[in-house]
Chains A and B, each alone.
Chain A
Amino acid sequence: MNDFSIPGLTPLLLSLKLAGLTTLLLIFIATPLAWWLSQTKNGFKPLFEAIVALPLVLPPTVIGFYMLVLLGPEGFIGRSWIGMGGDTLTFSFTGLVIASMVYSLPFVVQPIQNAFEGLGRHILESAWTLGARPIGAFFSVVLPLSAKGYLTALVLGFAHTLGEFGIVLMVGGNIPGKTRVISIAIYDHVEMLDYSYAHKLSAGLLIFSLLLLLGVYLINHRWRIRT
């Protein structure tokens, strides 16, 4: 452990790395998914929306349990991953990223979907009649006009992953430098009755989260003034 100089640096950096990577990957997955959900006239749309929203209501232990089963060497994802030449996913950082993506999916999909739905078809139609191809219209009109939705999605996805605990514990365990993220580290120190250390880590996370959200609200506020 090399986190003696600054308390909890390694777990904090690991948490940031996990949250950053998870959010980044989720944006790429959520964009087409949110677009499809916002445009489809499929009768099963409510079902798909309900599935996307599931992680909002399920206890993290339930998701964690199923992810553990799926990611394990005998599970569907774990087996395929090993088949493609990967290492075991359970109790690894990669496994954590995959599990976190499931866990934070609704927090990224929903703001983007809302932004797309708020735009409506109208603005697309006007882009088409001005000669923009459907894909071009998406990048030149839909994406920039959905910037607020993306900002919300980024922050919620990031913050939510940062604060996750149950899934990390079940899928990733508690391996220092690998899967021991900050929330686990705090739990550890509390269990060992090392309250002062837990205080430092908790306060650090609290301040960091506050600053992050403050930044977002400031940006949002400025946008609102401008428009």
Chain B
Amino acid sequence: MTTSDVTIKFNNPGFDLDVHFPLPTRGISGLFGPSGSGKTTLIRCLAGLERPSQALIRVGDSVWQSDNIFLPAHKRRVGMVFQDVRLFDHLKVEGNLLFGYKRTPVPDRKIKIDDVLKILELKPLLGKRPEKLSGGEAQRVAIGRALLTSPSLMLMDEPLAALGEQHKKDILPYLKKLPENFGIPMLYVSHDFEEIAALTQYMICLNNGKIQAQGKLPEVASNLPEIMHRWAPDNFIKGETCGPGKYKLPDGQVIHIPLAASPARIVINARDISLLRIAPEHHAGDALLKGQIEKIAEICGEKNMIRISLAGQEINVLLGTRGSNESWICPGNEVYMVINRIKLEME
């Protein structure tokens, strides 16, 4: 598999961006950082909208920038989705969608119009003018428009930041579907950790113009105490439905779920789990799981991020300040997890 590599040095008065990182060639990568950390500058450099003083940008087989190469934006085959949408008001939705498609050389048109229309549910919007669209609809059109250039990299600069809560929730499922349907690597910029966590397991953290951490979400998160303090990751538990209301894990333990449900995965937030040393006598058992402590991470000076192995899967448990100093909470020990709340992920 070919890799993508990014090195950028960009000097602005009062702000320096200096990054070097491998860019995942599949799936969604979250680019996370507080406001002013350089996220937008970074992806503008990737898109060819800014010209860094020194850079090596290689995406797959093509070099977008090096010491003697600078491909302008229109030659980069990059799909860019902006926070402020930027649809063309003089064209209807259809014209907007086809704008980039028409300018993509025929052999490069890998993404089909019908697929984009179907997956983003754009068909009912085709004849509308951009100003008649809701914020969420407009952003879906912008995403479709970028996809139809069959880009080798999608860049999304806080595409949900300008939307209301409801619209955000509406559009997230569409975003989630993109990598598997179109196979285009995506770099998704956000200052909202939960948004990134909902979309991807892989993230790159930028702070003050430098990469602070990069990798799978739980590891990155445990390196970033200031974030973890506010945020607890979701755990995804895979098993299978076995009979009504029962979800069986590979090791035979059963989680009780609503009767008619047949979820693909069970989602348990790290905050919704508490730990017990021994199983309580009068516990119904339906929300109790047994696992083994693997690792304890310190967050803000407290040992409260516990990683537990459960039926071959990793579960992160975020303990409150109380109870985290108990002596029985140490790697290797078996513990009981009381699940206070589960979410189901259907397929």
Contact = CB atoms under 8 A, between A and B. Distances in A.
A129 B103 contact: no
Nearest to A145: B90
A128 B48 CA distance: 9
Interface string A117-133: 00000110111111111
Contact of A130 (B129, B131, B149): B149
A132 B146 contact: no
Interface residues of B, number: 26
Contacts of B104: 131
Contacts of A145: 88-90
Interface stretch (B71-79, B221-229, B230-238, B240-248): B71-79
B187 interface: no
A151 interface: no
A16 interface: no
A14 B146 CA distance: 52
Interface in B139-178: 145-146, 149
B146 A129 contact: yes
Contacts of B49: 125, 128-129
B80 interface: yes
A130 B99 contact: yes
B129 to A, nearest CB: 8
Nearest to A125: B49
A150 to B, nearest CB: 13
Main secondary structure of the interface of B (DSSP, over half): loop
Interface residues of A, number: 21
Instruction: Name the residue in B47, B77, B99, B145 with the highest tally of chain A Cβ atoms < 10 Å from its Cβ.
Output: B99
Nearest to A122: B86
Nearest to A143: B90
Given A130-B149, A227-B131, A144 B90 contact: yes
Contacts of A216: none
B103 A130 contact: yes
Nearest to B47: A129
A141 interface: yes
Contact of A127 (B48, B99, B131): B99
A21 B283 CA distance: 92
Contacts, number: 64
B82 interface: yes
Given A131-B100, A132-B99, A125 B90 contact: no
A122 B88 contact: no
A128 to B, nearest CB: 4
Interface in A105-154: 122-123, 125-134, 136-137, 140-141, 144-145, 147
Contact of B84 (A122, A127, A136, A226): A122
A129 B88 contact: no
A73 to B, nearest CB: 48
Contacts of B79: 129
A144 B92 CA distance: 13
A126 B155 CA distance: 12
A226 to B, nearest CB: 8
A122 to B, nearest CB: 5
B81 to A, nearest CB: 9
Given A127-B99, A129-B79, A141 B74 contact: no
Nearest to B148: A130
A167 to B, nearest CB: 37
B153 to A, nearest CB: 11
A162 to B, nearest CB: 30
A132 B82 contact: no
11 contacts: A123-B88, A125-B80, A125-B82, A126-B88, A127-B99, A128-B48, A128-B72, A129-B80, A144-B90, A145-B90, A226-B129
Interface of A: 122-123, 125-134, 136-137, 140-141, 144-145, 147, 226-227
Given A125-B73, A129-B146, 17 more contacts: A122-B86, A123-B86, A123-B88, A125-B86, A127-B99, A128-B74, A129-B49, A129-B74, A130-B99, A130-B100, A130-B103, A131-B77, A131-B100, A132-B74, A140-B99, A141-B88, A141-B90
Q: Which 6 A-B pairs have the closest CB atoms?
A: A130-B100, A131-B103, A128-B73, A129-B80, A126-B86, A144-B90
